[in-house]
Amino acid sequence: MGYLLPGSLYYLVGGFYVTMVINVRLNNILGVSDPYTESGCAEWSAYLVQWTRWNHLRTIS
């Protein structure tokens, strides 16, 4: 029972918050970029680094 509250908080922050606030925002930014332009390639590279970092946190939680 002592791990229930901390585990729930890890899930809410790590899973739900990261998905809804971070990853959805990153996906929306990437969704409006043109992948065939130079700026689109730069956005994809930045997206990949940020998304991977946050996805690791989400996976751990």
DSSP notation for 1-61:
-TTHHHHHHHIIIIIIIIIIIIIHHHHHHHHTS-TTSHHHHHHHHHHHHHHHHHHHHHHH-
Quote the pTM value.
0.71
Rounded Cα–Cα distance for residues 51 and 28 (Å) = 12
pLDDT in tens, 7-61: 888 888 888 888 899 999 999 998 999 989 999 999 999 999 999 999 898 888 7
